[in-house]
Structures are given as structure tokens and as C-alpha cells.
Amino acid sequence: MADMKVAAYICQGCGLGDRLDTAALAGVAKKEGKAALVREHEFLCNAEGVKMIRDDIANEAVTHVMIGACSRRAKTEAFGFTDVAVSRANLREGVIWCQPETDEARETTQEMAEDYIRMGCAEVKKMTLPEGNPAAVTERTVLVVGGGVSGMTAALEASKAGYKVVLVEKSGALGGWAAKLHKRSPGKSPYAEPQDTPVADMDAAITADANIKVYLNAITSKTSGSPGQFEIEISTESGSTATEKVGAIIQATGFSLYDANNLPELGYGKSANVVDQAGLEALAKAANGGVIKRPSDGGEVKTVVFVQCAGQRDDTGKHLPYCSGSCCSTSVKQAMYFKDSNPDIDTVVIYTDLRMPGNGEDFYRSGQNKGVTFTKGKVSSVEAAGNQCKVNFHDLILNDQTAIDNADLVVLATGQVPNSGVDIDTKLKADIAAAAGDNSLLEAYNASQAEGAVQPISVLNLTYRQGPDVPQLKYGFTDSHFICFPYETRRTGIYSAGPVRRPMDMVQAMEDATGAAMKAIQAVENAGLGRAAHPRSGDLSFPKVRLEGCTQCKRCTVECPFGAIDEDEKRFPVFNESRCRRCGTCMGACPVRVISFENYSIDTVGSQLKAVDVPDEFSEKPRILILACENDAYPALDMAAMNRNVYSAYVRIIPVRCLGSVNTIWINDALSSGYDGVMMMGCKHGDDYQCHFVKGSELASYRMSKIGDTLKQMGLEEDRVATFEVAITDIERVPQLINDYAAKIQEIGMSPLKGF
């Protein structure tokens, strides 16, 4: 790149010119910001203003642009200059809209604006233009693992969109759970009758589709690489191995029914006439529309009882704690098998809550119409007596301890357990703790592995350092961000769809699979352009590492939420560009600070916070640094300002990619340069996390929990650093948090470190 030339532009529009002394701001940019070129404009984002900047870039060899106008979240198109480094000083949302329009406030408002100009100039000088990776490659094929309805849907949808698909199914035929069904619950209006499953049609469509290559009796025995360039080893039962190159992966490995052998109290294993839902489908398939026979003796089934929530929604800790969301409609459908062949058969569904998501309500009504009896009750036990069973239950409407004495068949709705492979999260947590010096978790983990317990079999067999499968959420379902980006796992380019992601029925699974297919295509295309995936989609910057300085501490490798970092033979970190989501968590983690991005680094943030003019001890003007996550906290601040919610004029806000990217050096720097307090605002973490980078805010609060010692060494109060969880909707709360914190700082008093 040519020599750096910084130009600063100060906008006077949107009332900025009325509320601020823009000439003074221009002076600050010139003198303190050392901008080579400074211009004021009355309406910077209009065609003329933008053209002015363009012309300067073209004619004046400007390489770095600092725009003092609205928030960086506004006017992104007008100010989206891709050929220069750009920083924005947020004078509108960040200053005039969040400050009172009074004479007394004029001085502090102006000071705020001047600081943001200083910060913008300081930041832009440390930025370089992200170049992207011109050598980025991409395979346009999508790998689908699992040949059930979800997998088949994903394959067909990806193919329809013009992409090649490799479909790997571990059994000898496509269809999965659906292939075992006699009929499916209805997926279309009027949602009244069981329908044929789509398996045969989909199977035929896949066979006829030249874009889809199917491997049966096969598993993905090795998965290496990254989005755009995965390399897959496919092993078949016969021992042969094939290799495929793909750009993205969809895991649609479905579920298994919860093992009914865990439910002896419900008669399973004690009477042949107690079956699970799969058992009943088998009986119905065998009967093929005819009379369903009693398994014990082939006798006529006159009374059949369906027991809902068998080993589900269990709060004793013995069985599944969650609802599988599809068993109720399955039982309605199965009761119809009987009613449709002979309306005189008594079919009783005993439920605690009948949950019929989507259009299932119509199906339920149809079941009632056919005379299926629904009884709200809790089954306590099932006793076998000859060729019949006695179902003991508590009728919750009549508050009656009662029984059905002569059930010929009892069907247990046992629910879905995801087939998601190896749980790598426990290990990851242990690794992180170990890296921070606490070995107890790791020891416990190793002990649990040694006990000889049956370990789940890996699905993807990833060669990633972080483990062979995608991380799992609560109850073993594969990872996904429920609120912002379902399907997207923490392994970039690997998506999960269907019941392996959360319990669901066939309608939802097909919708899910379609969504995952679209996401996979996005990943392929982004990878080809060297761009990041969600949520920084389009970002061309990428962590650069100064390996000479690396101490091989492995913090980055372990803490990267996306498994983007492997290790080479010499135990140096290997950054995989297309797996990286550009969150900066590695940068926040690195104790020797050798990781940075072209446009976001220890320096860009560090020099911003140092550029702020910190008044002396006697000014009674404290300074509070806010590091606000750009995903939720910063937008919330902007929106608070749009609503003219006023907050303290003593704060200076720096947006960060994620709290995970916050390096403790920034905190140290801020405190030692005299700031009176530091507020960090990130997303909610924990099991119901909202963090866009999944682990970032959690890691940050973990790191910050260790900052107490540093504060003590500096002789500072613990309250001088505080972390907050903020949601994008906290428009009222965020200004309140700021004001409360400012009041607290007032209470503690000014920092003793000013002026050193």
C-alpha cells in the first residue's frame, strides 16, 4: 500500500452543526488527529458529500478515511468505501442524541464529540484495508450425512438450487425413521388423515437426480479441512473407502427412540403387549391396513391404551427431562390405525398435556371425531395379566385413582434422543479451565472416560483439534443458535438439521433441512470469496499471527469458539481461514498479543482508548470506558439514543466484535491512563446464551473474573471494572445501567492513577 494519508470528514447534518462546534472538531482532527486533510460538510451522506470523499480518494491519494457523523451502523452503503480503511466517529447517536439539548450540557457534549474525533483518527491510523484471500478456493458440492427425511430433503433442495450433493447413509437404504412408519401424521391441509410417507417418492427423486451421489452402508470416517475445502473419507461396510471433496456439510443424523427397557414399571419387557411407538408401527406395517394383532398370541386387539410422556418430561432425573414434541401426534395417528379399521376398538390416549404443534390441532380434532378417547392423566404402572394388561393411572380431571383393566395393547410414547455423536463440550470446558491453571475438571473428565462406559460413536470424525464432532447443547442436541441462526453449528460450514438439532416432527424436519441446505450454500459461496460466515458475513479481515512471538500457550486454540484453530507439529496454532468467524476471541485470549486483524487489533482499540482526553483529578469529570459488543449492546445504545434516552456525558464507548475479543491489556491500559471505570457490555451467556459468537461473552466474563488481582496490584477498587449482559432490546435499561454505574464511580471517587 502507498503511504498512509488520513482524511477526516465532519458532518454538519442531522443537527450536528447546530449542537456542536464543528470547526473546533475539525481543528481537533487536524492538530491532535494529525489528519492530512480535514473537511466539514453540511450533509455528508448525500450524493455530493459522498462524491467529495470519493474524489479525495481518487485525486488526493487518501488511504484512510475518518468519518465524524452518524453511528457506524447507519449509512453503511453511502460510506461503504471498499478501497480505503474507514473509521467512524459516532457524533449523532453517540453524542447529540444521547445528551440533553441544554446550555449547561453544551460543554460536556462538545468534549464528548472531540474525544470521538480523536478516537476515530487514532483508530483509523492503526487500520489497514482487509485484503481478503485472493487464493480462496471452493468446492460447490454439499455433503449430507444421514439419509432420513431430513437428509433427503436437504439433498434434494441443494440439488434444486444447482449444487452437487454427496449423501452418506449408514444403513442399507434411505428413509430413516420415516421408512419404518406405516403412515405419517398429515403434513398438509386438512390435516385430518394419516398420509403415506414421502420416502418412496424422495428415494425415487434422489435416484433420478444425477447431481446427488448416494453412499449406502457407509459412514464419514474422516472429515478434514474447512468450508469450501472439506475432504471426506467415506468408508463402507465392505471395507472400501472413497474420498470426496465438498464445500459444506449438513448433519442430519436424526434420533433414536428413548430405550423403553428403562421403563419396566410401564410393563415394557414384561409383556409382549407393551410396545413403543416403533413397535406399533411395525405391527401396523405387518397388518398393512388390516387388523392389528396382539403380539402375545395374535389375538384381536379390542382395547389399546397409549401412554404419553413415557420416560419424558421427567423431573426425577432418571429419564428424558424434555418434551419430544412429536409423540402426541404420533399417538393420535396410531390410534387412527385402529379406529380406521374398526371404530368399535377402544383407543384411549392418556396424556398430561396434549401438545400438537403447528397444524396438529386439526389432527387432534380429527382424532376426537373418530372417537379416540383422550384422558388427562398420569400412568403409574402397567401390569401384565395373561394376554392383557392393566394400566393404572390417575385421572387428573376426575382426580380418580383408576385403571383400565383389559388393555390388549399398550403403546409407550418414549420420545427422541438425538444421534449427535461424541460430546466434546465437557472436554472443551476442562481444557479451558486447565489452560487457566485449574486441572480438576480435566481430571474428572479423564476419570469418566476410564470407567469403561459406552462412548457414543462419532458421526463426522473431524480431524479438528477440538474434537471429532460438533459441540452439543443441553441434552445432547447438536449446537445451533436458537434465536439468530438456527442450523449453524460452532463448526463453520457444518450445519445440523432435523431432530438431531432439537426434537421435531416430519413437517418441521423438512423445513429445517431446507434452511440448512440454504445455509450450506451460503457457506460455500462465502468461502469462495474469502469472506466470513454469519454474523460478520462479508468480512474479509482475518486473524494474522506473529508466530515469532507466540509462546505456544494454546489459549487461542482452546478458546476459539469455532474450532477454527488447529496445531501444527511444532504445536504452533494453525488458523483455518474459512472456518473463522472473525470474532476476535483468539485476539482477546492471547497473552502476548500476537494476534490481530487488519482493521481490528490490540492497537486499533488500544490507541482509541488512549486518545481520549482524561481530565485531571480536580476537574470532577470522571471518564468511564465502555466496551460494547457490536451485536447487541452497541445497537441497543444506538437505539436508546434514537429514543433520546439520555446517559452520562462521561462515558466513551468503543464497539468491539464480541466481548470475547477484549484483551485484558485494554483494561490495564485504560485504568493506568486514568479512567475511573470500565464497563463491559456483552450478550447473555450460559445454557440459554444469546452471544453471537457462542462462547465469547462467557470467556470474557471468565477472564474478567480473574482481573481482581490486577486491580489489587494497581491499588484500585474492584468496582472499577464491571461486566453486564445486555440484549438488543434493552433500550431503556442500557442508559440506566450507565447512569447507575456513573453514580457508583462518583461514590467511589476519582481514580488515583490520573496524571501518571
Partner 1 sequence: MSEKYHNNFLKEVEEMVEEGEWVKMCMQCGVCAGSCPLGPHWAHPPQEIFMMIRAGKREEVLRSDSMWMCTSCYNCVVRCPRKLPITHIMHGLANYAHRLGLSPKNQPTQQFATLFWNNLAQTGRVNELKLSLGIYFKDGFAQGVKNAMAMQSVGLGMVKAKRLNPMELFGGHGVKDKTGFHAMLKKAKEIEDRRKNFA
Question: Please, what is the minimum distance in Å from the beta carbon of residue 696 to ligand SF4?
Answer: 8
Binder of ligand SF4 out of 560, 602, 641, 716 (CB under 6 A): 560
Mapped onto helix, strand or coil, the DSSP state of residue 647 is: coil
Question: Terminal CA-to-CA distance of the chain, rounded, Å?
Answer: 37
User: Interface with partner 1 includes 650 (CB under 8 A)?
Assistant: no
User: Interface with partner 1 includes 398 (CB under 8 A)?
Assistant: yes
Binder of ligand SF4 out of 72, 126, 333, 581 (CB under 6 A): 581
Binder of partner 1 out of 76, 207, 261, 368 (CB under 8 A): 368
User: Interface with ligand SF4 includes 564 (CB under 6 A)?
Assistant: yes
Binder of partner 1 out of 77, 103, 315, 344 (CB under 8 A): 344
Binder of partner 1 out of 268, 374, 542, 666 (CB under 8 A): 374
User: Interface with ligand SF4 includes 720 (CB under 6 A)?
Assistant: no
Please work out the total of residues on this chain that contact ligand SF4, with binding judged by CB under 6 A: 27
What kind and span of H or E run contains 87? strand 85-90
Question: Please, what is the minimum distance in Å from the beta carbon of residue 494 to ligand SF4?
Answer: 14
Q: CB under 5 to 8 A by kind: which of partner 1, ligand SF4, none does 592 bind? A: ligand SF4
Q: Is the dihedral of CA 267, 419, 325, 359 positive or negative?
A: negative
How would DSSP label each residue in 541-598? ---EE-GGG-----HHHHH-TT--EEE-TTS-EEE-GGG-----HHHHH-TT--EE-S
Which of 168-176, 332-340, 359-367, 583-591 is the region at the interface with ligand SF4 (rule: CB under 6 A)? 583-591
Which of 31-39, 344-352, 461-469, 612-620 is the region at the interface with partner 1 (rule: CB under 8 A)? 344-352
Binder of ligand SF4 out of 164, 490, 502, 555 (CB under 6 A): 555
Supply the DSSP symbol for 293. B
Q: Which amino acid is at 120?
A: G
Nearer to partner 1, 371 or 549 (CB): 371
The answer to whether residues 406 and 388 touch, using CB atoms and an 8 Å cutoff, is: yes
Neighbouring residues of 241: CB distance < 8 A, sequence distance ≥ 6: 221, 233, 234, 235
- Say if strands 303-307 and 274-276 run parallel, antiparallel, or are unpaired: unpaired
Q: Is the dihedral of CA 363, 365, 371, 376 positive or negative?
A: positive
User: Interface with ligand SF4 includes 464 (CB under 6 A)?
Assistant: no
Which of 255-263, 423-431, 584-592, 639-647 is the region at the interface with ligand SF4 (rule: CB under 6 A)? 584-592
Count of all residues that appear for the chain in the document: 756
Neighbouring residues of 749: CB distance < 8 A, sequence distance ≥ 6: none
Q: Which amino acid is at 408?
A: D
Nearer to ligand SF4, 164 or 555 (CB): 555
Q: Which long-range contacts (CB under 8 A, 24 or more apart) does 69-72 make?
A: 69/9, 69/10, 69/11, 69/13, 69/14, 69/16, 69/44, 69/45, 70/11, 70/14, 70/45, 71/638, 71/641, 72/655
Question: Please, what is the minimum distance in Å from the beta carbon of residue 504 to ligand SF4?
Answer: 27
Distance CA 673, CA 612 (A): 10
The answer to whether residues 473 and 687 touch, using CB atoms and an 8 Å cutoff, is: yes
Which of 234-242, 441-449, 582-590, 705-713 is the region at the interface with ligand SF4 (rule: CB under 6 A)? 582-590
Supply the DSSP symbol for 501. T
Q: CB under 5 to 8 A by kind: which of partner 1, ligand SF4, none does 364 bind? A: partner 1
Distance CA 304, CA 326 (A): 20
User: Interface with partner 1 includes 12 (CB under 8 A)?
Assistant: no
Binder of ligand SF4 out of 339, 554, 692, 754 (CB under 6 A): 554
How would DSSP label each residue in 130-193? ----TT------EEEE--BHHHHHHHHHHHHTT--EEEE-SSSSSBHHHHT-SSB---STT--S
Looking at 242-326, list the stretches that DSSP marks H as alpha helix, in order from N- to C-terminal side.
Answer: 277-287
User: Interface with ligand SF4 includes 363 (CB under 6 A)?
Assistant: no
Binder of partner 1 out of 278, 384, 403, 714 (CB under 8 A): 403
Question: Please, what is the minimum distance in Å from the beta carbon of residue 380 to partner 1?
Answer: 15
Nearer to partner 1, 339 or 536 (CB): 339
How would DSSP label each residue in 474-496? GGGPBP-BTTTBTTB-SSTTEEE
Distance CA 485, CA 473 (A): 14
Nearer to partner 1, 400 or 740 (CB): 400
Nearer to ligand SF4, 57 or 550 (CB): 550
Q: CB under 5 to 8 A by kind: which of ligand SF4, partner 1, none does 6 bind? A: none
User: Interface with ligand SF4 includes 656 (CB under 6 A)?
Assistant: no
User: Interface with partner 1 includes 309 (CB under 8 A)?
Assistant: no
Distance CA 19, CA 39 (A): 18
Nearer to partner 1, 371 or 538 (CB): 371
The answer to whether residues 533 and 523 touch, using CB atoms and an 8 Å cutoff, is: yes
User: Interface with partner 1 includes 40 (CB under 8 A)?
Assistant: no
User: Interface with partner 1 includes 359 (CB under 8 A)?
Assistant: no
Binder of ligand SF4 out of 565, 653, 670, 679 (CB under 6 A): 565
Interacting positions 562-581 with partner 1 (CB under 8 A): none
Positions touching partner 1 (CB under 8 A) are: 303, 344, 346, 348, 354, 364-365, 368-369, 371, 373-376, 395, 397-398, 400, 402-406
Q: Which residues here bind ligand SF4, judged by CB under 6 A? A: 543, 545, 550-556, 560, 562, 564-565, 573, 575, 580-586, 589-590, 592, 594-595
